[in-house]
Chain A
Amino acid sequence: MIVAKLIDTTLCIGCKACEVACQEWNDQEYTMGTFDGSYQTKPELEANFWNLIKFNEVEKDGATSWLMSKYQCMHCADAGCLAACPAPGAIVPLANGTIDFVHENCIGCGYCITGCPFDVPRLNSTTKKAYKCTLCSDRTAVGLEPACIKTCPTNCLTFGERDELLRMAETRTVELKADGFADAGIYNPQGVGGTNVLYVLKHASEPEQYGLPKDPVIPWTVSLWKGPIKWMGMLMFWGTIFGAFFHFVIYGPQDPEKHGHPRDAEEEPSEKP
């Protein structure tokens, strides 16, 4: 069963409860921000901030509107990050559709960032690993909904079986159209094979007003990389690593005495009378 999140932006009040729930559940380190001229908590996602409400002031037909939408990993069916990742087991597609990052396998190359058409993953400069929303895989594994869903006070967020949510989204779209929002629709971009995070938008033909890319596709460089070049690249990449490893096994470590490395000399002054 593929699971998904449905975000009905018409019910989002930008309260940021989902941001706090995400931070709390994932034991994130809180960082005080500098003012960026907006109500938004951060200008963009960060390695320790995976769920961001975007605030967009839009003027349309002389009327002001303030569009709020929750931004996080989209858990794409055809995930750009997964396509780009060279480290086996670092990005894992789970059976329920979640794209999960396994940090002990991450080599911190940052290719997933390039591969993501939604600009989601972020590299932590200390741990040198990439981070993003896990769809709370540690909660969903035991039958709980993600933390953001659990905390949403307005029922703007729903979690469940993807097909069922798509039906709900369609019903909601019909309702909105009946209420006079002719452009209402579902955001489920096909350029990435559809996403497991679905949005209901009043202005579906202009998702960029909500801070969502209009027609996201995996960058061609990554697609190419995913094809023949990936195998060549993989061969070269791992070849180098294995080469270095076997060189170590066969020839042993470098001899600092022989090379006279100044740093090593400084480190052991007592042994050098």
Chain B
Amino acid sequence: MTNGWTDVANADVVLVMGGNPAENHPVGFRFVLEAKRLRKAKIICIDPRFTRTAAVSDLYVPIRSGTDIAFLGGLIHYAISNNKYQRKYVELNTNASFLIAEGFGFSEGHFSGWKDGKYDKATWQYELDAQGYAKVDPTLEHPRCVFQLMKTHYSRYTPEVVANICGCTSEEFVKAAAMITIAAAEDKSGTVLYALGWTHHSFAVQLIHAAAMVQLLMGNIGMPGGGVNAQRGHANIQGSTDMGAWNTLPGYLKIPRANHENLADYLAANTPKALRPNSLNYLGNTPKFMTSLLKAYYGSHATKANDFGYGWLPKVEEGADHSWGTFFDQMHAGKMEGLISFGMNPVANGPNTPKMIRALSKLKWLIVAENFETETAAFWRAKELADKEYPQSLKADDIQTEVFLLPAACFAEKDGAFVNSSRWLQWKEAAVDPPGDARRDQDIISDLFHAVHDLYVKEGGARPEPLLKMQWDYAKPQRPQLGEVAREVNGIDLETGKQLNGFGELKDDGSTACGNWIYSGSWTEAGNQMSRRGQADPTGLGLYPQWAWSWPANRRILYNRASTDSAGKPWDETRAPLRWNGKRWIGDTPDYKSDAAPETMAPFIMLPEGVARLFAPELVEGPFPEHYEPAESPVDNALHPTVNANPLLRTYNSDMDHFGTAKDFPFVAITYRLTEHFHYWTKHTSSSSELQSNFFVEIPEELAKEKGIANKTLVRVSSARGKIEGPALVTKRLRTLKVSGKKVYQIGLPIHWGFVGKVHGPLINNLTPSAYDPNCGTPEYKGFLVNVEKIG
């Protein structure tokens, strides 16, 4: 979230799209209802299903799954053509005025530069002056300025076109647009709440970019009650993202690539340069963050002479990808020996379950550390293994994978910090000891580290340095305490041995160590800031700066400098997280230099432009979001029928990657979560299982009538990947849609069941395709094609 849960209560407009907070974030949803009750905020719910969120919304508009970019593109068109955007904010805070290179354009479904299945981005760049700064036209009139290009690009997204793609009526769209653009007024703000309904598409990153564009046009970024707010699913999924993945190091530093042979190469490639003379370009400090991270990894082994151990970091081959889809494809191709799975259940939660199971069966070993036996630990007894539809049908006896199930402690049995959607790091204590043989993750990892480390010491081997040079100076090296790790993550001044106060103190000369620069300030000399529980609210906006600690720098609203005009005066005096008092900024921790006068510096200090991007050339399939159909779709793309899906859609070519067409699979399917369960976990607990013991298939009333399906009738749902069975829940809440003149039905599939636990049901991902977003590698779990047959 750019803002936070408590801040949602400050909104005048709440757009819930690509999320269902009443069901999946019921506790956070209290702030939505507070906004509704106390501020008379309008709640607008745009969703394929009439959900429990829709039930308490002021306006519900149904759309076809996977058409959100068309809807948001329509909002951009509506806002510009009806002059319902915050002009002064856009001029001040976005790259609307930046000029783009000659030759940029869009036609027939492709942006300029499309050749041989790839984009040459030469025409997507800013036009630079002699000093290397981007040229701008503050009047926004230049035909090649971002504003004009954006206006042209979205001129195709009229209410009628939107309605024709999304399946709602144009009247419904206009009603929603009028309500959402209330927030264009300087003294109004609107929030966007989204979750997996946006990220589970093969154009997910573009979709969220489109939302950011809408929010920038409305002047909602940086405002209390504004922002683009991702509702994170797991208590600590934000923390796991912050601490890195295959393509990022902690704090979103880029992973080194093979062609970055030394630290200087890496830093040259990954340290941005200011694109405007008044841009602070804070990420120009990347050398400090990276050097301090290397010092945290390798301690005294990291010296200036050896590039701070940069050479010991793993490097990713240039252009290579190791995201979920790719490594499971490689596993399926027999190219992987083993997998260690902590807190992950690929058989249940990966797309195309049959392929996941087959891939696991090709491993030599599989380690699963979990609270319960999961479908992944028990994959060898999945009935999907012996499915006759797949030629290489296996029996459990034929599988050579050795499975180790390590009983692991659950969240309440260990201390540590959760990072919630609001970016708050909240420290917790262990409530009870782990039962039986269950052990804490850090103990399992520590033992693994020492075992492998000792083997290298004893027997040698190729490239032992990453392990042998690793700093591991915990009081009890076998049993590191999470408090020790947290202090390391915060960062230390190596000369004084003192905890750092924040990332402003980091150095690139090896005199500071810091495990994650954005968490710096979370455990200072004053102690563990994450365990604070102060309830003071000095701004009166519900920001609670003394409750826990929020990254970065305990800032509660990101980009809060944009909540004021060019002179530092709040757009809305009644909702001011920040103001310039003539000497310094007061209020929330400023997202700005704290003593820099408002006219001296551009407002978005984290970006080299100094302003937010309406035009974002770093995304792979275009600088503006464009509507593409999902990988499987019931209709041709109404905007450009020859380029139907994302031109850079990521798919794989194994013998288990199948796609279907509307001829065999005429219905659009969506997968989702229910309030009653948490993912695939709570089917192990009695209380949640009692609330929703059974899987069901939600079917629109009209389709049910056509097919003679009554409520509770057993139905079979099939896709090009597999099939599942379950009872029908016939409902009015799934409306029949009219898309390109054609009736489209959507089928609802809740996900929570499997073959282990107190209650059982089919694995939904038997149906989902191996289709992935090319920017981030997220699978398309929503908006794929299925057929439904009555069998009961």
B686 interface residue per 8 A CB criterion: yes
- CA gap between A18 and B690 in the complex, in Å: 13
- CA gap between A68 and B55 in the complex, in Å: 9
The answer on a CB contact under 8 Å between B30 and A20 is no
Closest Cβ–Cβ distance, residue A21 to chain B (whole Å): 10
**Residue from A32, A37, A175, A179 within 8 A of B689 (CB atoms):** A32
A237 interface residue per 8 A CB criterion: no
The answer on a CB contact under 8 Å between A153 and B729 is no
The answer on a CB contact under 8 Å between A153 and B690 is no
Chain A residues with Cβ below 8 Å from B735 are 64
- Total A-B Cβ pairs within 8 A: 101
- Please encode chain B, from 685 to 713, with 1 for each CB lying within 8 Å of some chain A CB and 0 for all others: 01111111110100000000000000110
- CA gap between A248 and B692 in the complex, in Å: 51
B408 interface residue per 8 A CB criterion: no
The answer on a CB contact under 8 Å between A32 and B759 is yes
Chain A residues with Cβ below 8 Å from B696 are 35, 37
A19 interface residue per 8 A CB criterion: yes
**Residue from A33, A36, A37, A64 within 8 A of B733 (CB atoms):** A64
The answer on a CB contact under 8 Å between A37 and B730 is yes
Given known contacts A57-B733, A64-B50, A66-B52, is B26 in contact with A15 (CB within 8 Å)? yes
- CA gap between A10 and B33 in the complex, in Å: 9
Q: Smallest CB-CB separation from A17: which chain B residue? A: B26
Interface size on B, residues (CB 8 A): 41
- Please encode chain A, from 28 to 45, with 1 for each CB lying within 8 Å of some chain B CB and 0 for all others: 001111111111010000
Chain A residues with Cβ below 8 Å from B27 are 153
Closest Cβ–Cβ distance, residue A60 to chain B (whole Å): 11
**Residue from B40, B690, B693, B732 within 8 A of A57 (CB atoms):** B732
- CA gap between A14 and B50 in the complex, in Å: 13
The answer on a CB contact under 8 Å between B727 and A35 is yes
Closest Cβ–Cβ distance, residue A171 to chain B (whole Å): 11
Query: Chain A contact residues (Cβ within 8 angstroms of B): what range?
Result: 35 or more
Q: Which positions 35-68 of chain B face chain A at CB distance < 8 Å?
A: 37, 40, 50, 52-56
B345 interface residue per 8 A CB criterion: no
The answer on a CB contact under 8 Å between A32 and B693 is yes
- CA gap between A216 and B54 in the complex, in Å: 31
B156 interface residue per 8 A CB criterion: no
Closest Cβ–Cβ distance, residue A32 to chain B (whole Å): 4
Q: Smallest CB-CB separation from A65: which chain B residue? A: B55
Which one of A23, A36, A64 has the greatest number of beta carbons of chain B within 10 Å?
Answer: A64
Chain A residues with Cβ below 8 Å from B691 are 16, 19-20, 41
Closest Cβ–Cβ distance, residue B707 to chain A (whole Å): 16
A59 interface residue per 8 A CB criterion: yes
The answer on a CB contact under 8 Å between B712 and A11 is no
Closest Cβ–Cβ distance, residue B280 to chain A (whole Å): 40
A270 interface residue per 8 A CB criterion: no
- CA gap between A68 and B686 in the complex, in Å: 23
- CA gap between A26 and B674 in the complex, in Å: 25
Q: Smallest CB-CB separation from B687: which chain A residue? A: A20
Which one of B27, B33, B728 has the greatest number of beta carbons of chain A within 10 Å?
Answer: B33
**Residue from B55, B56, B686 within 8 A of A30 (CB atoms):** B686
Chain A residues with Cβ below 8 Å from B688 are 20
- CA gap between A20 and B53 in the complex, in Å: 20
18 sample A-B contacts, Cβ–Cβ < 8 Å, listed by A number: A13-B22, A13-B56, A14-B22, A14-B52, A16-B676, A20-B687, A30-B690, A35-B712, A37-B696, A39-B692, A41-B690, A57-B732, A68-B52, A153-B30, A154-B26, A154-B29, A154-B30, A154-B33
Interface residues of B (CB under 8 A from A): 22-23, 26-27, 29-30, 33-34, 37, 40, 50, 52-56, 674-676, 686-694, 696, 711-712, 727-733, 735, 758-759
Interface residues of A (CB under 8 A from B): 10-17, 19-20, 23-24, 30-39, 41, 57, 59, 64-68, 153-155, 175, 179
